Amino acid sequence: MKKLIIASTSTVHGGNYLEYILPVLKNHFSGVSTVLFIPYAQPGGISYDDYTTIVRKSFDTIGITVQGIHEFENPIKALEESEGIFTGGGNTFLLVTKLYENDVMQTLKNVVENGTPYLGSSAGSNITGLTMKTTNDMPIIYPTSFQTLGFLPFNLNPHYLDPDMQSKHMGETRETRIKEFHTLNCEPVLGLREGSWLEVTGEKIILKGTLTARWFRQNQKPIELEPSTDLGLI
């Protein structure tokens, strides 16, 4: 049975890395002594080692050890033997490219579907949807495919932003970009605001946090989903 936490972001309101969601993660990874971290998204070009160090410090506070997947000679075996998995944020194009290049996309899908608890934030959340086509990231590299893990029956847009009515900015809003996506694609899209997350248990997909989320379907007006909504029933 799938068991996932899919977070819009790793840090909110100037807090420490993962601080806002650590109590949730302590329960999510209950019984897990070591989490395998996937640093492939490299936010700001940070090295795998430095990124893993940041994650390690946060997980230390809840008594869980972190090992980077890059520290293993065989990443497939590392995934297959992992107790829990965390894929961090950064650039989704880079993350997906490296998952395919290292031939671990399918293994990651298999182990999570078989019950290994998974945490994703930002780019690591993007890949839990049907495709990565609704990421906000710049296409700094060309991945083998836009198809991702498909743990959710829709796509995600983490860090979803509402239009600022006081701003003089005349460019595209996030909603406009998702509407553009729907001129060529039919997958539903969830706009997940900062500080919100999804808790997936089997086929249940519960919106968590204090904020609503924005739900987009092709040729339909977007709607607001209240916290505790089960998106598996929509």
Dihedral sign of CA atoms 59, 199, 196, 49 in order: positive
Buried b (16+ CB within 10 A) or exposed e, 106-126: ebbbebbeeebbbbbbbbbbb
* Active-site entry in 10, 70, 121, 137: 137
To the query of whether residue 103 is one of the catalytic residues in this protein, the response is no
| Distance (Å) of CA 142 to CA 43, 92, 96 | 17, 11, 9
To the query of whether residue 122 is one of the catalytic residues in this protein, the response is yes
3-class SS at 127?
A: coil
To the query of whether residue 137 is one of the catalytic residues in this protein, the response is yes
Beta bridge partners of 86: 37, 119
* Active-site entry in 122, 125, 182, 196: 122
Residues annotated as part of the active site: 122, 137, 159
